[in-house]
Structure 1
Amino acid sequence: MKFNRNETTNQRIERITVQHVVVGIDIAKDMHAAQMTDFRGRSLTPRHLSFPNTLEGFEKLLRWVKEAQSKHRLTSLLIGLEPTGHYWFNLANWLLQQGIEVVLVNPVTTHRNKENRDNSPSKNDPKDALVIADVVSRGYYTDYVTQEATFERLKTLMSDREYWVKQSISLGNRIVRWIDLYFPEFRQVFPDWTVLRSLASLHACPLPCDLKRLSVDEVIKLWRKQGMKRASGVSGRAKAGALLAAAARSIGDTRATEEARQDLYRLIQTYKQVTVMLGEIEEALGRILQEIPLAEQLRSIPGLGTMTLAAILASAGDLRLYAHGRQLLRRAGLNLAECTSGKFKGQIKLSKRGDSMLRKHFYWGMLNLVRQNPDFKRWHTHNQERGMKKQASLFKLIGKLARILIGMVQRGESYQSASAAPVAA
């Protein structure tokens, strides 16, 4: 398909012929609802079909569809799903294995078209299934294409990493809260509580009352017991002295010291476990990226980090399937949207209708590129000299990065500076 949006929509509409049965399925956790129409949106069955999210239910759906096809002498089939949570994956993959075309309908589209037939805001599963079939027949859908196993492995690991990063941040905030309650002066000595000496202190003597009877040498001895090889020295003794001085004037809560000590111990142990898991996940991501030739080609962009690259390939999949960088931006919800009516001209904003993880890593990746990549740094400076705000410049350069990525993949080229000619990869 061509990328032009109007042409693409027309091609999707023309794809549905007079021989098509269009099935809309409203997805749920246990019971799905399906409705069937012809290419013009006319219902082909007197009532909807409810079927369970099991193999028997999938086979029941297929028998129901084939009976209707035989009755109405229709030979083609297109099934549209509303991708609700994770409940639709098994059904969509099973249908693809049966050689059936599967397309996806955005839940926002379903919500905004639910009053088309009955002019009523009422909502139920059979009605939603019929709305899905209607919008499919009008070309408001996207094709569902399964990715290669390598990209699926990458996607699973990145999803796992996102979850544990959130847990790590949550645990870190909880530890900071603990310090603020029981030893607020601790952060004057260790502004970054995650450094090794700080963790050793929190593990061995977390409360001010644990430090009040200790000397500098005894604190250093406790650090050594926690595995610090270079616990002493001038800086070590200075830190130990500052810690003892902070403990002597602490205003921390002293009413539940034993419970507080156990609470911190559990928090730090969990935080360390999560940190180890994140390291293992990032190592696994690096190994998978080595198996993807596309990744090695994209690594030629100076300043494009491993996590940014992994997020792009995990969320967008095989970039060879994209015709233009604008498609990649729409995937991330970074395309521009405006609201105008008559004389009113609204503000142009990002649509944010797309993959939030991809959008986040595009932004973080661009922050890294404008610091490390000479070309992006020069373009960013040029944009700001022309009066463009910093954020606007960053998002404009994200669009440029998307076009560069798709262009490199389409032409099989490695990245070279803007002042040099591209060389085939």
Structure 2
Amino acid sequence: MTNKQTTPADAVLVAIDVAKARNEVLIEIPGRQRRRKLTIRNAREDHDRLIALLLDTGKTVICGFEATGNYHRPIAWRLIQAGFEVRLVSSMAAARTREALHNSWDKNDPKDAQVILHMLRIGATQHYHDPLLAGINDVQELSKTHEAISRSKTEILHRIQSHYLPLYFPEAERFRQSSRSDWFFAFLEVFPTPASITVMDEAAFIEAAWHVVGRKVSKARLLADIYQTARTSIGLPIPLNAPAITMFRMVLAEARSLIRQRDTIEKMADTMLAHSPDYQQLRKIPGIGPINALSIIAEAGDISRFGHHRQFLKFCGLDLSTHQSGVFRGRTKLSKYGNARLRRTLWLAAQVAIRQKENSFRDKFERYIARDRDNPDLRRKALTAITAKMARVVHAVIKSGADYRPFFEGTVPGGRTPLCGAIRAQSATL
């Protein structure tokens, strides 16, 4: 992937400033001094009019635009289907170029079209990868919907923990073991208050709740513990038919509904990607489960298009940058000018990997923090290094087509460890 593309001298350049209702279009045709300005509504007839106008030129057409929410997707798809080359302009690069060209931060749609046209002319653009054309549109929708549902579920869980449980059943919090489990919400939906439990004797409660809590180790002991806890609870004495309890149960039902939706998406994603080689190879990397693999594929697309792992690191925003001027040299740190969602996914995968046994990620993390294990700043830097290593391994595995192999780390001169040791079976020795 490159940020610099060659623009043919005889090509028709089309700069499009995308908006929700209408787009400002600036067309530069070789041999004509005057540029053509158009306002194109986001309607089929206007899209057809623009395409017909560009086809009539009989020349190579290069279109450029700045990503704007999802409003650029339909017109970009129409332009690609018409056979035009479509390029993407970086939002930050456009802002800096606008300031340089106009010596002002002033921003408006016609001026943005001029900036995009200038960047097309000098080739300061990126290739536009259309998700529908690349075949990852469905994967992206699954990934984004899963994230939205997970966030909603987390918000409801926090509401239950910080509002409903402290009021009506404070002691129940210690019985919740996992945010992925449905049994706790199902139990509270049936028994939302201590009074709903103590209204019967212990044996009757255990019989009534036996099938509610699902399959549990020492289920009888767990239910007996819940019953004794309910007898000494400090929860407010609210009757079961009170509107407050109705609201509590409504929130619990919503939480359970979100859990079911999340599980459905996870099963659908696993079925959809079951025959994807990239998905299967990603799943073999420590720390990358079904959802992390889904998110990586959704956000990165075809990882093999990155010729070198440094290009992939830059795409993720995990490349290093330093502010330097004259004798002054600032701190070297992550640029973070990349795909934030992909970077976060790799960060989460790194956190999982360092908690697993016997893998190269944990070994590197342990060596990094060995000199001061309790230093939070050192641990943060170590986890950042592991995140970058995770990105390099992901790129190497997909690029080479080789499966990730079990733990292998050898000490080499200079203290660095070879990346190939994690993915090459030929050189792996325990």
TM-score bin, normalised by smaller chain:
0.7 to 0.9
Instruction: Quote how far apart the aligned CAs of 1:423 are.
Output: 4.6
Out of 21, 26, 33, the residue aligned to residue 30 of structure 1 is 21
Shift of 1:80: 0.4
Distance in 1, matches of 2:322 and 2:128, equals 28
1:346: how far off? Answer: 2.5
Name the CA distance, whole Å, in 1 between partners of 2:164 and 2:333.
40
Post-superposition CA distance 1:46-67 (Å, at most 9, x none): 5x21011122111222244356
User: Which amino acid in the other structure matches residue 296 of structure 1?
Assistant: Q
SS in 2 for 1:113: helix
SS at match of 1:80: strand
Change (3 A) 1:206 1:409: closer
Partner of 2:49: 60
Q: Distance in 1 between matches of 2:108 and 2:61?
A: 24
- Distance in 1 between the 2:398 and 2:197 partners? 60
| Alignment partner of 2:338 out of 351, 354, 376 | 354
Matches within 5 A, 1:32-111: 32-37=23-28, 44-45=34-35, 48-66=37-55, 69=57, 75-111=59-95
CA contact (8 A) 2:23 2:40 kept: yes
What is the correspondence of 1:196-345 to structure 2 with a 5 Å cutoff? 198-208=184-194, 210=196, 213-224=199-210, 226=212, 233-246=220-233, 249-250=234-235, 252=236, 258-345=242-329
The answer for the alignment partner of 1:376 in structure 2 is 361
Match of 2:160 among 175, 182, 187: 175
Contact 1:36 1:130 in 2 (8 A): no
- For the residues of structure 2 that align with 1:236 and 1:254, how far apart are their CA atoms? 22
Residues 32 and 114 of structure 1, relative CA distance in 2, 3 Å threshold: same
Kept in 1: contact 2:194–2:230 (CA 8 A):
no
**Helix, strand or coil for the counterpart of 1:44?**
coil
- Which of 8, 26, 46 matches 1:17? 8
Which whole-Å CA distance do the structure 2 matches of 1:88 and 1:319 have between them? 23
Instruction: Please give the alpha-carbon distance, in whole angstroms, between the structure 1 residues aligned to 2:239 and 2:96.
Output: 56
Q: What residue is the counterpart of 2:170 in the other structure? A: 185
3-state SS in 2 of match to 1:347:
strand
CA gap of 1:66–1:201, structure 2 versus 1, over 3 A, is closer
Question: 2: CA distance between counterparts of 1:97 and 1:266?
Answer: 48
Q: Structure 1 residues 325 and 213 mapped into 2: Cα distance closer, same or farther (>3 Å)?
A: same
Give the deviation of 1:38 after TM superposition. Answer: 5.9
Instruction: Call closer, same or farther: CA 1:199–1:45 in 2, change over 3 Å.
Output: closer
**8 Å CA contact retained: 1:204, 1:222:** no
Give CA-to-partner distance per residue, 1:304-333, whole Å, 9 cap, x none.
322222211111011221111122222222
Residues 38 and 369 of structure 1: CA distance in aligned 2, closer, same or farther (over 3 Å) = farther
Displacement of 1:89: 0.6
Change (3 A) 1:150 1:32: closer
Task: Give the partner amino acid of 1:145.
Answer: H
Q: Please, which moves more after superposition, 86-95 or 367-376? A: 367-376
- Equivalent AA in structure 2 for residue 179 of structure 1: Y
- Could you tell me how far apart the structure 2 residues matched to 1:181 and 1:122 are? 52
Partner secondary structure for residue 338 of structure 2 = coil
Compared CA separation, residues 196 and 77, structure 1 to 2 (3 A)? closer
Distance 1:125 1:197 in 2: 53
Structure 1 counterpart of 2:393, from 391, 395, 404: 404
How far apart in 1 are the matches of 2:92 and 2:33? 23
Gaps of 5+ in 1: none
TM-score between both structures, scaled by the size of structure 2: 0.83
What is the rounded CA distance, in whole Å, between the counterparts of 1:415 and 1:121 in structure 2?
A: 48
Q: Specify whether residues 127 and 295 from structure 1 end up closer, same or farther in structure 2 by C-alpha distance, changes over 3 A only.
A: same
- Aligned residue for 1:103, secondary structure, equals strand
Please name the residue that 1:390 is paired with: 379
Match of 1:122, SS state, is coil
- Calculate percent identity across the aligned residue pairs: 24
1:124-174: CA deviation from partner (whole Å, max 9, x where unpaired): 211111111112222221101235665322222111111111111111112
- Offset of 1:290 from its aligned partner? 1.4
Q: Distance in 2 between matches of 1:214 and 1:255?
A: 15
Distance 1:296 1:180, change over 3 A: closer
CA contact (8 A) 2:40 2:50 kept: yes
Match of 1:156 in 2: 141
C-alpha distance in 2 between matches for 1:43 and 1:418: 63
Q: Distance in 1 between matches of 2:30 and 2:397?
A: 39
In the alignment, the residues of structure 2 paired with residue 339 and residue 402 of structure 1 have an alpha-carbon distance, to the nearest angstrom, of: 24
2:416: which partner in 1?
A: none
Helix, strand or coil at the partner of 2:355:
helix
Contact 2:189 2:253 survives alignment (8 Å): no
Taking the aligned partners of 1:336 and 1:98, their CA distance within structure 2 comes to 39
Rate the CA distance shift 1:124–1:232 in 2: closer, same or farther, 3 A.
closer
Q: Relative to structure 2, which stretch is displaced further, 337-346 or 277-286?
A: 337-346
Contact 1:319 1:409 in 2 (8 A): yes
How far apart in 2 are the matches of 1:260 and 1:28? 45
User: How many pairs were matched up?
Assistant: 405
1:396–1:243 distance in 2 versus 1, CA, 3 Å: same
CA contact (8 A) 1:51 1:61 kept: yes
Matched residues in 2 for 1:81 and 1:338: separation? 29
Q: More deviation in 198-207 or 374-383?
A: 198-207
- Is the CA contact 1:18–1:38 (under 8 Å) kept in the aligned structure 2? no
C-alpha contact (below 8 Å) 1:36/1:44 kept by paired residues: no
What is the alpha-carbon distance in structure 2 between the residues aligned to residue 159 and residue 193 of structure 1?
A: 23
